[in-house]
Amino acid sequence: MNPVGTNLEEIMDRYPGEPEYLIFLLQDIQSSYGYISPESMQRVCDRTGVPLTRAYSVATFYQSFRLDPKGEHEIKVCLGTACHLKGGQRLVDELERRLHVEAGGTTEDMRFTLNTVNCLGACAISPVMVVDDEYHPSMSVKKMDRELKRLRHEGEKEVGNV
């Protein structure tokens, strides 16, 4: 999906072309497209007069902004102290191997984005894996395999129904 289009113009028209509206514009673009494309970033900079380097500094400072498209399913693994001690890093290693993607990346088929987080505040149920905002407590490699299989099967069903 290329964000440079009618919807981007509608977003841009909501705000005056002034530097103080940079974050608002980026938030709305992120909300509409799931990420901020290079084309969108350039258009926002042209509109607000903010130098491109400054806009990228802002976008990379805040973790809520993405500069790359996100996969259909987002998988987050907690690496906080409790999760790390109970196998969180092993889960990340296995996910990287099975999905053929490094943490922070998205699979080539755009099905999965794998991220690590410092803490989910769910230490009592560690290690924790979150898939599309659904928490999976006391995660093990075996449970992780079942969840990946379910997600892949779900995707196959959707393709078959087209």
Q: How far apart are CA 76 and CA 124, in angstroms?
A: 17
| Burial (CB count within 10 angstroms: exposed 0-12, middle 13-18, buried 19+), residue 143 | middle
Region of 159 (left: φ > 0; alpha: ψ -120 to 50; beta: rest) is alpha
Band (19; pLDDT cuts 50, 70, 90): very high
- Flag whether pLDDT at 158 surpasses 60: no
Tell me the average pLDDT of the chain: 91
Judged by DSSP in three states, 131 sits in strand
From-to residues of CATH 3.40.30.10 in the chain: 73-160
CATH of the structural domain 73-160, one choice from 3.40.50.300, 2.60.40.10, 3.40.30.10, 3.40.190.10: 3.40.30.10
Q: How far apart are CA 27 and CA 46, in angstroms?
A: 17
**What pLDDT shows up at residue 1?**
45
